[in-house]
């Protein structure tokens, strides 16, 4: 049975009565999880608030929390009911929530993703160019010219839901999905872009492929990306692709990372 738990006004700090944060809504989700609805708007500010909340929870080291799973607008927290009572957990979370106005958000990490665009690796790039009256080079420039926010992971293990793609390269999904899209394939579907983390069926327009592995069961953690990070696609040549592919397989490749400026939230 799903029970809504609304935090009374008395639990809200004066700072949170302002425009910075909205009232969080705590919902029992089964007998081992609590869903915290933070906002109903999908944007960078919502993700920043979720990141701040997760960061503060980690800093407080609450016993019994098993995992925190961020989504577009909410945070799911799984817990061990033999270690902590859900009502006690909610009370601790509310206390942490009321301190968010005084907390600082760490710099977000930018992960650089090398991509070989076009050719056999990106067989739909010409179609994307034609739909948008662009050249292939212009498609590549538009796609690799911005930072993309990782909103959450889903669909397949390690598949990133990204925000920030230029409207100039928006392209509808394929009418006939492919039965197999190779892992590492970079695609466009409507206003979204993403990276296939494993071989799977898919209907996105494939414009390139990265030699990096987004999911590897033998590594810790098994996924390369996580919510709150930013990624920047970087165009590479076939020779560079083959070199990086060998280094990835041998475990000698160093992923390029940089700092993204702090969020205003």
Domains of the chain, start order: 4-102 (3.30.1360.40), 108-260 (2.40.100.10)
Per-residue pLDDT, 201: 95
**Choice between 264 and 208, residue whose per-residue pLDDT is larger:** 208
> pLDDT digit string (tens) for 159-188?
999 989 999 999 999 999 999 999 999 999
**What pLDDT, on the 0 to 100 scale, is given for residue 265?**
47
Question: What does the radius of gyration of the chain's CA atoms come to, in whole angstroms?
Answer: 21
What average pLDDT score do residues 6-23 get?
A: 44
Q: Residue 191: pLDDT above 70? A: yes
Averaged pLDDT score across all residues of the chain = 88
pLDDT at 261: 66
User: What confidence tier does 241 reach under pLDDT thresholds 50, 70, 90?
Assistant: very high
Q: What pTM value is reported for the model? A: 0.79
Q: Tell me the pLDDT band of 228, cut-offs 50, 70 and 90.
A: confident
Mean pLDDT (whole number) for 78-101: 92
CB 234, CB 240: distance < 8 Å: no
> In this predicted structure, what is the pLDDT of residue 122?
97
- d(C-alpha 201, C-alpha 182), whole Å: 9
Res. 105: pLDDT tops 80: no
Phi, psi at residue 240, to the nearest 5°? Answer: -65, -40
Q: What's the angle, vertex CA 78, arms to CA 161 and CA 111, rounded to 5?
A: 30
H helical segments located in 18-117: 44-60, 86-97
Residues 57-77 have a mean pLDDT of 93
């Amino acid at each position: 049975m799903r029970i809504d738990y609304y935090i009374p006004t008395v639990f809200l700090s004066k700072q949170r009565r302002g425009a910075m944060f909205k009232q969080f809504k705590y919902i029992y989700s089964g007998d081992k999880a609590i869903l915290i609805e933070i906002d109903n708007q999908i944007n960078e500010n919502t993700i920043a608030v979720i990141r701040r909340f997760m960061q503060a929870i980690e800093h407080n080291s609450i016993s019994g929390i098993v995992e925190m799973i961020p989504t577009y607008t909410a945070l799911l927290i799984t817990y061990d009911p033999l270690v902590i009572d859900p009502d006690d957990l909610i009370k601790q979370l509310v206390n942490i929530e009321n301190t968010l106005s005084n907390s600082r958000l760490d710099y977000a990490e930018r992960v650089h993703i090398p991509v070989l665009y076009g050719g056999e690796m990106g067989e739909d790039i010409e179609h994307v160019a034609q739909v948008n009256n662009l050249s292939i080079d212009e498609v590549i420039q538009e796609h690799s010219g911005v930072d993309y926010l990782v909103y959450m992971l889903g669909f397949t293990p390690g598949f990133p839901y990204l925000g920030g793609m230029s409207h100039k390269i928006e392209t509808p999904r394929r009418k006939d999905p492919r039965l197999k899209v190779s892992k590492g394939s970079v695609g466009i579907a409507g206003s979204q872009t993403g990276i296939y983390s494993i071989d799977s069926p898919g209907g996105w327009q494939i414009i390139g492929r990265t030699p990096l592995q987004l999911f590897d069961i033998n590594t810790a953690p098994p996924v390369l990306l996580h919510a709150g990070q930013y990624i920047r696609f970087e165009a590479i040549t076939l020779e560079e692709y083959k070199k990086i592919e060998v280094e990835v397989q041998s475990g000698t490749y160093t992923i390029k990372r940089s700092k993204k400026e702090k969020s205003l939230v």
